[in-house]
Structure 1
Amino acid sequence: MRTKLSILLLFCLVVLAIPFTANAQVIHKVNAGDSLTKISKQYGISIDDIAKLNGLTVNSHLVLGQALLIPTDNYVVQPMDSIWKIARHHAISEETLMNKNNITSSQIIPGQKLVIPRLPKAPLWIGSYLIPKDKEKNNWMLDNYKNTLSGVFVFEYRPDANGNIILVEENEAHLLAWRKQLVPYATLTNITEKGFDPDLTHEILNNASIRKKLISNIYALLDSHDYKGIVVDFESIKNEDRDSLNLFAKELAAKLHPVGMELMMAVPPKEGDRIPDYSAAYDYETLGKYVDRLFLMTYNWHWPGGPSGPIAPINKIRDTLDYAVSVVPRSKLMLGIPQYAYDWTINGEDKDAKSYSIQHAIKLYTKTESEIHFDEKAATPWFRYVDEQGDPHEVWFEDSRSLLAKMRLIHEYELAGMGCWHLGITMPQTEELILAEFNILK
């Protein structure tokens, strides 16, 4: 999560409704002339329920291409729909859709109802990063999301160059988590005033005495705070430190495992052992031998400092999973899911993108009446708008279509876990889809 610092500064807590119990999976793409009233009548679902589930108000103006999650199994065919398009946006095959509805022809007509089949729920361990607030807000977040989580990763502790750990004011987040049957983990990063700092990790990992001291301090932190384990999120590590990182994981696991403590590591996406070359320090196969879970940071293919584009394109995620399952047991793999949007200024000037919650992106495209486009190759939505200064912007984000497609990869690859960055910024559709797709392990 190389952009966590900017995200941390820009994200705000978004108050969300408690997820529905219907666990819907019908996705309706807004067409010309659509309104919440019209859609409500089409599906026989109240305006309040549709609005609440999609993070809208009952008076919200809908925009072309917007994806709405509808709490029903019956999809109403829209003008310009096709079997391919409906199947694609529900992450199923055309054959599956046709068989479920006992139809042999791909010819469909507007107003026709099609049952959208559901997959059997799979057991899944789900964790999410938690940026501690005050005790009251910590309690609210954990309460609101507890039904869709197995554990939380308290963000974040940091080592100094001597192997000491800089503590975070977590305001009893770990205690509150235990009380709500959520397993708390401490997150350890290599963030300094420079951002993710490869020089800091180089110094720690290659000095045996400092490395040993840090491991001892990690153990002491977990023991004193009653954490179940540690999530090591060392990013931008130098390729020359590959063997040292492997050794650190081996030694840390040897310290934690005998007493039942767990080790997780967050790693960047890769398509091969040294593909891309700048991530060669992360040896999936060797790290996979020592960790309890490997958190795949399958996002940020486009980031604030680069050109605009999809944050987590489905085709690139597939490439990562194809490699990961070939060298790491599926029982240890966690798919990382982004829960944020990037907003690029695209007027040719050298400007970083802004990061904010998906819910903010929804409010923005509603306010600016921006049409939502969907990149079929990346399975990701995006839109453009012009700000008050006249500058054009391009925003890439996630919606129910892109999230469902990612969750279906968990079924397909038989992964054991999923993780999100971070609590408090998800949209209601995320929790609804999780409950529809998985049985959450506790």
Structure 2
Amino acid sequence: MQIYTVQPGDSLYSISAAYQLSADTIAYVNQLIPPYELAVGQSLLLTEESPAAAQYFLRTAGYAYPFISPWVLEQSLPYLQELPVFSYGFTGNGELLPPALDDSWMITVAVSAGVTPILTLTPFGPDGNFNNALIHSMVQSETAKNNLISQLLQIVPEKGFGGVNVDFEYILKEDRDAFTAFVSELTAAMNRQGGQVSVALAPKVSATQTGVLFDGKDFQALGAAANHALLMTYEWGYRYGPPMAVAPLDQVRRVVTYATGVIPPGKLSLGLANYGYDWPLPYQKGITSAVTIGNVEAVQIAVQNGVPIEYDPVARSPYFYYTKDGTEHVVWFEDVRSWSEKLALTRDSGMEGVGIWQIMRLFRAGLILINSSYGETDTGTAG
């Protein structure tokens, strides 16, 4: 397996000949579309086969909403061990709320493919955003907390889930210990009936780090309370923020260094971003809004506009500029190069796996990369 960076003058067929690989296979793995134009700087995964079973990762999870395309889900499941369904909510009284759309079909398809579906629990308010007042009402009330845990214990086996992923954000500082207690009690109860509990953690880099994402989460205590933990190592570059890499490797490494120092690495998974952002320029704080795009879509935009893809040496992430209708844009996204760097970090840190946010858009080369020798690849150029 090799990651190849497209050079000036390359074509699908010249690369195919240089590496003695079928052009059809290269196009399939990398989701190239006729007439198979390439962008200079584009990363291609060159492999003869499409492995469909993880050889080294114990856990590879891919989050999905119930409105995922059945075809995309079918294409993704062979490379996953877990399918966290996003998401279930709850009221301040601890009444469990199912997704707006039926998720039964996803559970059925996942189980048929040998993949464990996971119930993702989120505290979304009526506006669809994370609501810390809702969290406060539940974790500070024994009645509400016990009610929610009781319902989770019932619905998990009833619907065929393998456990619960607790994804709470913007937890108030005053609810920090109560939130940890909720995770601990849920984990103990779920384990007694054979289920597992994981908790999503914001990208914290020290125990003293403050802010709305960090004040309510005690990494060390949550690592002890839950069976597993996912590091949400993405969203440095975000929709309303200034243009930058979504998951810069230098920042991801800082999070991993801290997390593995307070949580056993064998409990940790690294979050992988399966998306990028397209910002119009110039960026104006409070005004500019980026468009979310898929990693494959990003490359297609570069090809359509005839611009080269660059690779930031610090962030270890691809980006490019293009102009459309008189407006300059900058795109930051992820590709097999950037994922390979993060997989190497995961492996070298002794972490147990990865969690992909999210699999709504198919990134076949990335999925194959994860499932092939723990993401180990060579790099090269064909000329």
Return the TM-score normalized by structure 2. 0.90
Q: Secondary structure at 1:155's aligned position in 2?
A: strand
Equivalent residue letter for 1:172 = W
- Identify the residue that residue 206 of structure 2 maps to in structure 1: 272
Kindly state the Cα deviation for residue 409 of structure 1 after the two structures are TM-superposed: 1.2
Q: Pick from 410, 430, 434 the counterpart of residue 346 of structure 2.
A: 410
Q: Does 1:437 align with 2:373?
A: yes
Secondary structure, counterpart of 1:220 in structure 2: helix
Matched, 1:218 2:194: no
1:273 Cα deviation after fit: 1.5
Cα 1:161/1:395, change in 2 over 3 Å: same
- Which of these residues, 67, 88, 99, is aligned with residue 157 of structure 1? 88
Structure having the higher Rg: 1
Which residue of the partner structure matches residue 225 of structure 2? 290
Q: How many equivalent residue pairs?
A: 365
Is 1:59 aligned to 2:32, yes or no?
A: no
Supply the distance in 2 between the matched residues of 1:417 and 1:403 (Cα, whole angstroms): 13
Q: Which residue in 2 is equivalent to 1:343?
A: 278
Q: Contact conserved, 2:347 with 2:374, CA < 8 A, in 1? A: no
Of the candidates 118, 121, 127, which is equivalent to residue 188 of structure 1? 121
Closer/same/farther in 2, CA of residues 141 and 428 from structure 1, 3 Å limit = closer
Counterpart in the other structure of 2:44: 68
The aligned counterpart of 2:174 is 240
Q: Which residue of 2 aligns with 1:354?
A: 291
Tell me how far 1:274 sits from its aligned partner: 2.8
Q: Distance in 2 between matches of 1:225 and 1:51?
A: 38
51 and 276 in structure 1: CA distance in 2 versus 1, 3 angstrom threshold? farther
2:79·2:371 contact (CA, 8 Å) conserved in 1? yes
Give the match for residue 83 of structure 1. Answer: none
- Asked if 1:379 corresponds to 2:316, the answer is yes
Q: Is the 8 A contact 1:142 1:180 kept in 2?
A: no
Deviation of 1:142 after TM superposition, in Å, equals 4.3
2:381 corresponds in structure 1 to none
Give secondary structure in 2 for the equivalent of 1:122: coil
The equivalences for 1:14-413 within 5 A come to 24=1, 26-71=2-47, 122-133=56-67, 137-138=69-70, 140-168=71-99, 169-192=102-125, 193-278=127-212, 279-349=214-284, 350-388=287-325, 390-413=326-349
Q: Give the Cα–Cα distance (whole angstroms) in 1 for the partners of residues 313 and 206 of structure 2.
A: 25
- Over the aligned positions, Cα root-mean-square deviation in angstroms equals 2.0
How far does residue 427 in structure 1 lie from its aligned partner after superposition?
A: 1.7
- Tell me: CA distance 1:123–1:31, structure 2 relative to 1, closer, same or farther (3 Å): closer
Question: Within 1, Cα distance between the matches of 2:155 and 2:327?
Answer: 48
Alpha-carbon distance, 1:242 to partner: 0.8
Superposed CA deviations along residues 294-333 of structure 1, whole A, max 9, x for unmatched, are 0110111121111010111111111111111111111210
Summarize the Cα distance change of 1:32–1:267 in structure 2 as closer, same or farther, 3 Å threshold. same
Between 1:221-230 and 1:413-422, the stretch displaced more is 221-230
How far has the Cα of 1:407 moved from its partner? 0.8
| Kept in 2: contact 1:133–1:171 (CA 8 A) | no
C-alpha displacement of 1:58: 4.6
Q: After TM superposition, where is structure 1 displaced by more than 6 Å over at least 4 residues in a row?
A: none
1:172–1:69 CA distance, 2 compared to 1 (3 A): closer
Q: Distance in 1 between matches of 2:31 and 2:235?
A: 24
CA distance in 2, matches of 1:35, 1:177: 38
Name the TM-score, length of structure 1 as normaliser.
Answer: 0.78
Cα distance in 2 between the residues matched to 1:364 and 1:63:
9
Structure 1: stretches of 5+ with no match in the other structure: 1-23, 74-119
Q: Distance in 1 between matches of 2:296 and 2:44?
A: 13
For 1:398 and 1:180, the matched residues in 2 are separated by: 27
Q: Give the counterpart letter for 1:287 in structure 2.
A: L
Q: Deviations over 1:79-128 (max 9, x none)?
A: xxxxxxxxxxxxxxxxxxxxxxxxxxxxxxxxxxxxxxxxx953421111
Q: Which runs of 5+ in 2 are unaligned?
A: 376-383
Change beyond 3 A, Cα 1:183–1:342: same
Superposition deviation, residue 382 in structure 1 = 0.4
8 A contact 1:60–1:366 mirrored in 2: no
> Are the counterparts in 2 of residues 124 and 438 from structure 1 also a CA contact under 8 Å?
no
Deviations 1:238-292 (A, max 9, x none): 2221111111112212221211111111111111113244313111110111211
